Each structure stands twice: as structure tokens, then as C-alpha cells.
């Protein structure tokens, strides 16, 4: 059985007409970087940690000798608009865990005042492209998806799927009678990709009509691009570890 352990960090007053935003780890860590940038820029306040017996059975070691637990976290943001941001360092390992955690996160989001959901993620393109990376949209209704076209997003034509929380939280939003939209930024996929995160946040900020500073993300993206140029030159680091997890900048 999937067991969730919820640890309240802070008492809260539910927000009003808030947007639930999911950014858990996935391809290129796009969603996670975007969520952490939102939390950092808008002073998100952590209100809950969620532990699950279907997360990887481990702890991570920090360089200061402390350990980091595997969990998902809920942050509340009041300005510029009310947001409930879900981030974390992991997703469930099994289908049942994926379903149960996504279901619970939507329930919690609604309790915290969410009336609409956005899930953020990457769409792997496998190689360094010559052109601008696109952002795709998929929604719980085609009307909602259509409305996003003015923000520069496209529809996918691959008959593909959205895996994990980014997909299932659309489903559980709809089953709980709230609309939900997934924004997927094209990404090379095998490195942490702050550029794709910038692209996704760019669309999100237009759709939700708020402004935000991308300076830190752009600095980070510039660093990664330098790295990628080296990769193209040498091709030697092409098989870098997938779980490159150095997100300390975004903490």
C-alpha cells in the first residue's frame, strides 16, 4: 500500500483563487527549476512536506555533512498573484505511487485555495537543436489549450503522452472539477536545463499576467550553454550522468 506522511511546517490561511503550479523533477529538471525560481523570486513560504513510501528508499548526502530527505514540498506565494507551488527532489517509483501522490497533491492544493492547475515539464528532443526551443501546451479541454496559443505555445502532433505528476495532476484536477494545463518546454534532456525552464516560465507569466525577473535563470542558462559548447567540441562528456542534481543555486 502507498503510504503518505504529511508534515505540516506552518499553519496557513487558504489562499483565494490561487493557481496550483507543479514543478517536480523530470526530463531536464525543467519543471523543478521553474518551480524553484518562482519560489525564490516571489518568497514562497513552505507550508508542508510530503513523504511517501514509494519514493526512492534513500537520503542524499550534502557537502556539509547533513542529509537531505526525499520528499515533495508545498509552498504558498501571495504576490504578484496567489500561487501554490509544488516542488521537491523526487517522484514516486511505481504507478500506484504516482497516482496516489498526484491525487493527494491536488486535494491539498484545493484545500490551500487552488481553482486552476498548471503542470510544468520538459519534452526531450535528444540533441542540441539549431533553432529556438518550443513550448507545447495540453489542457483538460481543447478550448483552454486553444486560449494559450496567443502566448506562443504549440500543440503536439506526436500522439504522445505526459508521464508522471505533470500528466496525472491534469487528470485529478479534472476529476475534482478544476481546469488544468500542462506546459512542456523542449529540452535536450540530458542536462539540467534552465533555458527550457525560462521558456516555460515565460509562457506561464504571460498566461497568468504577472512579471518576473529571469536574470538568475539566464545566468545559469549561460553557464550551461558554455558547457554544451564544450560538449559539442569534445563530444567526450556526452554521456554525463543523467541524475546531475546540482541545483544548489536554486535552493
> Contact positions toward a copy of itself, by CB under 8 A?
1-3, 5, 7, 51, 53-67, 69, 92-96, 98-100, 102-103, 137-142, 145-146, 148, 155-164, 167-168, 170-171, 174-175, 182, 245-246
The SS3 assignment for 26 reads: coil
Nearest to 50 by CA among 132, 96, 107, 123: 107
Q: Residue 15 CB, nearest distance to a copy of itself (Å)?
A: 26
Return the number of the residue (149 or 226) whose C-beta is nearest a copy of itself: 149
Please, which residues bridge with residue 183 across strands? 120, 137
The CA dihedral of 43, 44, 49, 54, to the nearest 10 degrees, is -110
State which residue, 14 or 56, has the beta carbon closest to a copy of itself. Answer: 56
Minimum CB distance to a copy of itself, residue 167 (Å): 4
3-state secondary structure (DSSP) of residue 126: coil
Least distance from a copy of itself to the Cβ atom of residue 245, Å:
7
Measured from the CB of residue 207, what is the shortest distance to a copy of itself in angstroms? 14
Least gap, CB of 36 to a copy of itself (angstroms): 17
Query: Nearer to a copy of itself by C-beta: 61 or 227?
Result: 61
Nearer of residues 45 and 245 to a copy of itself, judged by Cβ: 245
Burial class (CB in 10 A: 0-12, 13-18, 19+), 179: middle
Residue 136 grid cell: 507545447
The C-alpha cell that represents 202 in the structure block: 515565460
Closer residue to a copy of itself in complex, CB, 69/242: 69
Q: Tell which residue, 2, 21, 10, has the closest CA to residue 212.
A: 21
Pairing of strands 45-52, 135-139: unpaired
Q: How far is the CB of 40 from a copy of itself (least distance, A)?
A: 21
Q: Using the minimum distance from each CB to a copy of itself, give the nearer residue, 80 or 167.
A: 167
Please, which residues bridge with residue 46 across strands? 75
Rounded to 5 degrees, what angle do the CA atoms 57, 74, 68 make? 35
Nearer CB in complex with a copy of itself: 66/131 = 66
Name 44's bridge partners.
none
φ/ψ of residue 134, rounded to 5: -85, 165
What's the closest the beta carbon of residue 58 comes to a copy of itself, in angstroms?
A: 4
Amino acid at each position: 500500500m502507498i503510504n503518505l506522511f504529511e508534515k505540516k511546517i506552518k499553519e496557513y490561511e487558504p489562499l483565494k483563487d490561487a493557481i496550483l503550479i507543479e514543478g517536480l523533477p523530470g526530463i531536464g529538471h525543467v519543471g523543478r527549476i521553474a518551480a524553484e525560481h518562482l519560489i525564490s523570486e516571489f518568497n514562497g513560504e513552505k507550508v508542508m512536506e510530503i513523504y511517501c513510501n514509494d519514493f526512492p528508499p534513500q537520503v542524499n548526502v550534502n557537502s556539509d555533512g547533513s542529509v537531505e530527505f526525499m520528499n515533495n514540498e508545498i509552498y504558498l506565494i501571495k504576490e504578484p498573484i496567489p500561487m501554490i507551488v509544488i516542488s521537491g527532489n523526487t517522484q514516486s517509483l511505481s504507478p500506484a505511487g504516482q497516482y496516489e501522490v498526484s491525487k493527494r497533491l491536488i486535494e491539498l492544493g484545493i484545500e490551500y485555495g487552488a481553482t486552476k492547475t498548471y503542470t510544468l515539464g520538459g519534452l526531450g528532443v535528444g540533441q542540441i537543436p539549431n533553432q529556438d526551443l518550443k513550448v507545447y501546451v495540453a489542457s483538460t479541454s481543447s478550448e483552454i489549450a486553444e486560449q494559450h496559443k496567443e502566448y506562443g505555445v504549440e500543440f503536439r502532433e506526436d500522439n504522445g503522452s505526459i508521464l508522471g505528476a505533470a500528466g496525472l495532476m491534469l487528470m485529478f484536477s479534472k476529476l475534482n472539477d478544476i481546469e488544468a494545463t500542462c506546459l512542456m518546454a523542449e529540452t535536450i534532456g540530458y542536462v539540467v536545463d534552465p533555458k527550457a525552464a525560462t521558456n516555460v516560465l515565460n509562457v506561464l507569466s504571460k498566461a497568468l499576467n504577472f512579471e518576473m525577473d529571469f536574470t538568475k535563470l539566464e545566468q545559469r542558462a549561460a553557464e550551461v550553454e558554455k558547457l554544451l559548447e564544450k560538449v559539442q567540441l569534445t563530444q567526450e562528456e556526452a554521456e554525463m550522468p543523467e541524475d546531475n542534481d546540482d541545483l544548489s543555486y536554486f535552493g
